[in-house]
Amino acid sequence: MLKIDDIVVKYDTIPVVKGVSMEVEEGELVALIGANGAGKSTILKTISGLMRPAQGKIMFNDMELSKMGANDIVKAGVVQVPEGRQIFSKMTVYENLRLGAFLRKDRAEFQKNIDYVFEMFPILKERLKQQAGTLSGGEQQMLAMGRALMSCPKFLLLDEPSMGLSPIMTEQVFSVIKTLKSHGITMLLVEQNAFEALEVADRAYILETGNITLSGNAQDLIKNPAVKEAYLGG
C-alpha cells in the first residue's frame, strides 16, 4: 500500500534521512522505532508532503506522494496525527473535528464520522464547545486522533502519540490504536516507547541516525537481544 523507496531527506544541506526504504501493506500496523533525532518524524513529514525528499520516492498504491502537495495527500487518504498534537488551540473541540473533515463535504458522512469519533473518545463529546487549548494533554491527543479520523483515512500516520502522557493515558492511546487496527485501518506508528509499540505492531523498523538498521516481525524484535539492549531497557 505504502512503499518508500530509498529516500534521502535534508534540512538545508544536512541529510537527516539517508536512504530509507520501507513498506506497509494494507491492514498492517507497522512501527517505526528509534531514538530522538533518528529521523522518524522527518520520514512522516515527508510522507505527508510537509517536506520533499532530495532523492528517492514515496508511492501510495499507484500515486507518487513525493510529488504531491500536502492537501492532495490528505485527499488521497493519507492522514497524519502529528507530534505534539498540533490541535487548533484557539478553536473549539467541535471546530477542530470539523477541520478534520475539511475536504469532506458530505453531511451524512460527517455525522457518521463524528459519531464514530465520539464512540472512540466519549470525552470529546462532553468537551465539544470547549476551547481546545484548555484540554488536558491526554484529551488533546484524543482530539488530534479524532480529528484525523474525521477524514476517513485509508492510511494513518501516528507521530509519538504517547509523548508526554501519563501511563494511564498511554495505555488508553494504545488501546485505541488496537481498536483502529481491528477496524482495518492501516497505520504507521512512530514511537520512542518501543515496548508498547512493538506489542501492538505487526512489523517494525528500527531507525538509527537516518538509516534502517533492523526490521522484521514485531514479536521477533521484542526478543532480539540488540533491540532489548538499546530500546527496551535491557
Partner 1 sequence: MTSSYFLSQLMNGLKIGSVYAIVAIGYSMVYGILRLINFAHGDILTVGVYSILTLMAFGGLPLWLIIIISICISIGVGVMVERFAYRPLRSSGEETTLISSLAVSSILQNVIMMIFSPQKKAFHLPEYLTALHKVGSVTLSTMNIITFIAVFVILVILSIVIKRTSMGMAMRACSDNLTASRLMGIDVNKIIVMAFVIGCGLACVAGLMLAGEYKTIEPMMGFVPGLKAFCAAVLGGIGSLSGAVAGGFILGIAEMLFAGLMPTSITPYREAFVFVLLIIVLLFKPNGIFGGKEANKS
User: Is the separation of the CB atoms in 3 and 59 below 8 Å?
Assistant: yes
Binding residues for partner 1, how many (CB under 8 A)?
31
Task: Quote the least distance from Cβ 145 to partner 1, whole Å.
Answer: 13
Site string for partner 1, 6-45 (x = CB under 8 A): ----------------------------------------
Q: Which stretch binds partner 1 (CB under 8 A): 59-67, 91-99, 210-218, 219-227?
A: 91-99
User: Toward partner 1, which CB reaches closer, 96 or 193?
Assistant: 96
Site string for partner 1, 121-160 (x = CB under 8 A): ----------xxxx--x---------x---x---------
Task: Quote the least distance from Cβ 80 to partner 1, whole Å.
Answer: 5
Distance in angstroms (rounded) separating the CA atoms of residues 196 and 174: 8
Site string for partner 1, 158-177 (x = CB under 8 A): ------x-------------
Amino acid at 169: M
**Rounded-to-5 percentages of helix, strand, coil across the chain:** 40, 30, 30
Amino acid at 87: I
User: Is the separation of the CB atoms in 20 and 4 below 8 Å?
Assistant: yes
DSSP summary character for residue 92: B
Distance in angstroms (rounded) separating the CA atoms of residues 78 and 122: 25
Question: What are the CA-CA distances from residue 133 to residues 101, 102, 123, 160 (Å)?
Answer: 20, 20, 15, 19
Out of 91, 214, 222, 232, the only residue in the binding site for partner 1 (CB under 8 A) is 91
Binding site for partner 1 (CB under 8 A): 48-50, 69-71, 74-75, 79-80, 82, 86-91, 95, 98-100, 102-103, 131-134, 137, 147, 151, 164
